[in-house]
Structure 1
Amino acid sequence: MTLPRHGVSLCSLYQARQRIAGQAVRTPLVRSPALSARFDAEILLKLETLQPTGAFKLRGATNMIAALIERHGRDALRAGVTTASTGNHGRAVAHAAAHLGVPAVICLSRLVPANKVVAIEVLGAEVRRVGRNQDEAFIEVARLVDEEGMTLIPPFDDALVAAGQGTIGLELMEDAPELDRVFVGLSGGGLLGGIGAAIKAIRPATRITGVSLSDGAAMWKSLQAGRPVEVEEVASLADSLGGGIGRDNRCTLALAREVMDEHFQVSEVAIAHAMVDILEHEKLLVEGAAAVGLAAIVEHKLDVRGQKVALILSGNGVALETFDRARALAGR
């Protein structure tokens, strides 16, 4: 069988599910009575906030490290693993590495909130603060790989990482096989691409809706240009949607282009309102990136009446001061 150019197949998704069993959990898909009534639709929430690390990233990181050990043996990772991250991926790599007995060094830019730094350090990984953005943090990652023999675990641009995230799509299709639409935050493309690959292989009629920040939407700009485009990274309530896609993107640009049906950008105000709404009505404290699906429906006045819609609540890594800022921005 020939793999697609991006390397993510239905077979690789099921292999990923086997590898991550026991580390990443199968998260609930729950109906929101409040949102369903508000939009006259069946609104379902995929609670990736319940992962042991608080976000979906654990799936991809675990799949890649486990696959490397499976293929090359544990000695191949003796020097350890490394990555750059906006926070959630670093925490996932630290968790997976500790569970599998592998050293880890996580490089973070100065934009990453302090609460995410602490969450990584408590898992036993070494944290290095490097640069003003994720691309600059990756300079130190490249040095660790070239000079110290560490193995890179990319935050998104790898078929193994994307397949790990795509196990969410398998679960969605099993729990709600007649989904009409799935809203997914779009940053590097691993989450949207993986979920989309699973769903399009099983139910092509389900629409995959990507949601990006209004500023700093690197993947969306790259899709429009047909090649990787660098954009200025800006601070956001949805900080985990920041960062570039890499100048030599090998996987997720092609994957997102293949599976995404439509795309919307959302403002900081819309994200703030959505974060507060989710806490008030669902009693869930979520980070900005987890609220962008709801933000898109509201800000763009999308008609989802009569549809079965899934929102991916991707993570809960929000500091209380960040949520307070969201409340102030929303005027609530």
Structure 2
Amino acid sequence: MLPRHGVTPALIYEARRRIAGQVVRSPLIHSTALSARFDADIYLKLETCQPSGAFKLRGATNMIAALIERHGQDGLAAGVTTASTGNHGRAMALAAARLGVPATICLSHLVPANKVAAIETLGAEVVRVGESQDEAFGEVERLVRERGMTLIPPFDDPLIAAGQGTIGLELMEDAPDLDRVIVGLSGGGLLGGIGAAVKAIRPGTRITGVSLARGAAMWESLQAGRPVEVEEVESLGDSLGGGIGLDNRCTLALVGEVMDDHYQVSEPAIAHAMVDILEHEKLLVEGAAAVGLAAMAEYRIDVQGQRVALILSGNAVSLETIDRARKLTGR
């Protein structure tokens, strides 16, 4: 019997087959500096190495390829569409271009200009609308209804979560005795997919979610036991903004099943983590990619003697945002 969320190990292995050659098997590197700082073995999963700059390419490629397998190229002739806080839109634009499918990406006015430009460069049509991801989704619904386009959701679909879950398979192959995986939490596709893969192979590995201090839609929904709306706010971790959809069908149940603990991090903590990763690891990461380290530092999570993986989920960050982070830290 399928789980309510529909994400099975078989679906994740199918995703790996489908995206092979289209997506980078990202490096898992040992951080000497962080390991010494936390008296643990700290590993960094570099999804920043993806051609789109973030993990989202896995799920987008998997879903578009799966739809082509099912319905043929003509089945997507009207094109694909989505709403995004930036990274999913960029990933979908790249995946669609590679697979020969037209794409329209709907973005709220909160999405930073550098992310908008990156999407347009890949040849997708961009529509700016509203002040939240939910408002952008209203335009997506219109495109689906009036132009016959196919929705590729940013997170709430088993095919999307399974694509992100291929990260978990790689983690278990490269570091099979991990004690904890720390993942940014927004819509839940990344954490849910990774958690489903890791728990299927090593159930004792803890899956830790990290959200923003404000606007944590998934966490608020888990507490309420149903999808709820939250006000979106500007943040260094802007990729973690947005709602989970009031009709959420997949990721709320999936995250509730696989996540063991959860932290909400402040803006100064995100800023310090971004600067630390840049200074000590020589890696440029967006705020959402730094929240794992932010949580470890802000909450002094006890990881002594453990093997811990942090998911560095993306690198879509402007120099202006890095400068904001530096100013917040005084460094």
TM range (shorter): over 0.9
What value does the CA root-mean-square deviation take over the aligned residues? 0.4
- SS for the counterpart of 1:3 is coil
Query: Which residue matches 1:232?
Result: 231
1:99 counterpart residue number = 98
Aligned residue for 1:60?
59
Q: Unpaired segments of 5 or more residues in structure 2?
A: none
Q: What is the CA–CA distance in structure 1 between the aligned matches of 2:181 and 2:143, rounded to whole Å?
A: 38
Alpha-carbon distance, 1:72 to partner:
1.1
Measured against aligned partners, the alpha-carbon deviations of 1:189-244 in whole angstroms (never above 9, x if no partner) come to: 00000000000000000000000000000000000000001000000000000000
Q: Which amino acid aligns with 2:277?
A: I
State the one-letter code of the partner of 1:251. Answer: C
Partner amino acid for 2:3? P
Partner in structure 2 of residue 192 of structure 1: 191
Matches within 5 A, 1:152-167: 152-167=151-166
Residue 254 of structure 1 and its aligned partner are, at CA, apart by: 0.1
Q: 2-side partners of 1:303 and 1:205: how far apart? A: 16
Report the residue type matching 1:258 in the other structure.
E
How many residue pairs get aligned? The number is: 331
2:178 aligned partner: 179
Cα deviation for residue 271 of structure 1 reads 0.1
Percent identical among aligned pairs is: 81
Find the aligned partners of 2:87 and 2:330 in 1 and give their Cα distance: 28
Distance 1:331 1:157 in 2: 38
2:8 is matched with which residue?
A: 9
User: Could you state the TM-score of these two structures normalised by the residue count of structure 2?
Assistant: 1.00
Which consecutive residues of structure 1, in runs of 5 or more, have no partner in the other structure? none
Amino acid at match of 2:21: G
**2:264 equivalent in structure 1:** 265
How do 1:77-92 residues align onto structure 2 when only pairs under 5 Å count? 77-92=76-91
User: What letter matches 2:268 in structure 1?
Assistant: V
Q: Deviations over 1:269-307 (max 9, x none)?
A: 000000000000000010000000000000001111100
Find the aligned partners of 2:250 and 2:124 in 1 and give their Cα distance: 27
In structure 2, the residue matched to 1:312 is 311
Partner of 1:222: 221
2:37 alignment partner, SS class: helix
Give me the whole-angstrom Cα distance separating, in 2, the residues matched to 1:23 and 1:234: 34
> For 1:64-111, what per-residue CA distance to the aligned partner results, in whole angstroms no more than 9, with x for missing partners?
000000011111100000000000000000000000000000000000
1:113 maps to 112
Q: In structure 2, how many angstroms separate the alpha carbons of the residues matched to 1:290 and 1:28?
A: 15
The residue aligned with 1:254 is 253
- Supply the AA of the counterpart residue of 1:203: R
SS at match of 1:245: coil
Supply the distance in 2 between the matched residues of 1:137 and 1:319 (Cα, whole angstroms).
Answer: 23
2:31 paired residue number: 32
The one-letter code matched in structure 1 to 2:117 is: V
Separation in structure 1 between the aligned mates of residue 4 and residue 47 of structure 2, nearest angstrom: 28
Give the Å deviation of 1:145.
0.2
**Cross-structure match for 2:145:** 146
Q: Which amino acid aligns with 1:308?
A: R
Which residue of 2 is the match for residue 21 of structure 1?
20
Deviations 1:31-69 (A, max 9, x none): 000000011100000000000000000000000000000
CA distance in 1, matches of 2:152, 2:323: 33
Distance 1:3 1:72 in 2: 23
Pairwise CA distance, 1:22: 1.1
What residue is the counterpart of 2:243 in the other structure?
244
Runs of 4+ in 1 over 3 A off after TM superposition: none
Instruction: Give the Cα–Cα distance (whole angstroms) in 1 for the partners of residues 330 and 22 of structure 2.
Output: 39
